[in-house]
Amino acid sequence: MAIFVYAENINGVYKKAAFEAVSYAKAIADQAGDTVTVISVNPTDSSDSLFKYGANNVINIKDEGLKNFSAKSYAQAVNEVFTGNTIVFPHTTDASSIAPMLAIMKNYSLITNVLEKPENLSPFQVKRRAFSGKGFMHAKADAQGVIVTVSQNAFGVKENPVQGSEEIKELSIINDDTKVLSHEQSSGKLDLKEAEVVVSAGRGMKGPENWGMIEELAGVLGAATACSKPVSDIGWRPHSEHVGQTGKAIAPNLYVAVGISGAIQHLAGVNSSKTIVVINSDPEAPFFKSADYGVVGDAFQVIPALTEKIKALKG
Ligand code: FAD
């Protein structure tokens, strides 16, 4: 039986997290001697980008009623075409709200935030992130089928080109009565959740008038900007930039934290980043314990100097 995977797209264009989920599904399929079937809703991207990561079959759901995201309707749509006993979702905001609904519809086990290939397939057992990234656990599925969400940047995107096929499935799901009251876009040019590099700043910046240097550093690094919770609470930065336990959870390749103390609630949203650089004037700031690289210094001196150095390096 094929290993299924849900490939999320934004306005029809596949996310990097979708390729990571397909790569993960391919690893399970290889373990099980199976194939990979991708489910996608209203994509505009070519399925070739999915074949590259090991998708043998792509089911493209076409449904005008699913133009706007609704977890319930999307779960219904996926439920219509998912006929296997294993499905992989990326651990994105949207996909991780579809997965539990599908788990209820199918009466399957749900294991979120998985980090590695399964340790065992029958019963399905896998290592997952727990306690907001402060620990790990080994979870075992106890139902006939299993739904997993893959923690972003944990498994990685792995090319595994195959000759795949595509089928179109026309559906007409009745969209539920969910109303979108507000949909705040990130103010930056780059989508924070998708960005490979993020420059983030906290209360150490003293005021919103000082964010020019953060934006300039982000500009030379090709980074998105983020901030700590109090910074968005006081209105220095938009809420769309707030990262942490109660904000966005991100997992870029590089996270640069400027004037942020590193409270546990902040770390909960950023500690999946591959490399963390902390710039803080207090050598005792807790963030240094989680940093790969640390600079003890005044941000008002370090950031302009760093930006100039990077500009010079880039020629
Ligand atoms: P501060 O703690 O005030 O730290 C400022 C830092 O800047 C200090 O380390 C200081 O040494 C440094 N600094 C000062 N001047 C300079 C300078 N010139 N150069 C360099 N460094 C300097 N927080 C989040 O961020 N995200 C969340 O999702 C979140 N959720 C929460 C949920 C709950 C239920 C609770 C109770 C709290 C939550 N918090 C969250 C708040 C969190 O506990 C911290 O209060 C917050 O992260 C602190 O923000 P900060 O680091 O910007 O500010």
What does the pLDDT look like over 62-81, one tens digit per residue? 999 898 899 999 999 999 99
Rg (CA), the chain: 21
**Which residue range(s) make up the domain with 268?**
197-313
Answer yes or no: do 80 and 164 share one domain: yes
Per-residue confidence (pLDDT) for residue 8, from 0 to 100? 96
Q: Would residue 86 count as lying in a domain?
A: yes
Answer yes or no: do 34 and 114 share one domain: yes
Q: Best of 236, 250, 261, 279 to mutate for ligand 1, by most ligand atoms within 8 A of CB?
A: 261
User: Mean pLDDT of residues grouped by 10 in the chain (315 residues)?
Assistant: 95 93 98 97 97 98 91 96 97 93 98 97 95 88 96 92 96 73 56 90 98 97 97 96 93 96 95 94 98 98 97 91
Answer yes or no: do 88 and 160 share one domain: yes
Q: Each residue of 145-203: pLDDT tens digit?
A: 999 999 988 899 999 999 999 999 999 887 666 666 655 555 556 788 888 999 999 99
Per-residue confidence (pLDDT) for residue 180, from 0 to 100? 63
Q: Would residue 91 count as lying in a domain?
A: yes
Give pTM, 2 decimals: 0.80
Task: Find the DSSP H helices in the chain.
Answer: 16-32, 48-51, 71-81, 95-106, 212-221, 229-233, 264-270, 299-314
Structurally, how many domains does the chain consist of?
A: 2
Answer yes or no: do 38 and 131 share one domain: yes
Q: How far is the CA of 148 from the centre of ligand 1 (A)?
A: 32
| Cβ–ligand 1 contact at 266 (below 6 Å) | yes
Query: What is the spatial distance between Cα 95 and Cα 111, in angstroms, rounded to a whole number?
Result: 13
Question: CATH no. for residue 38?
Answer: 3.40.50.620
Answer yes or no: do 159 and 208 share one domain: no
Q: Would residue 183 count as lying in a domain?
A: no
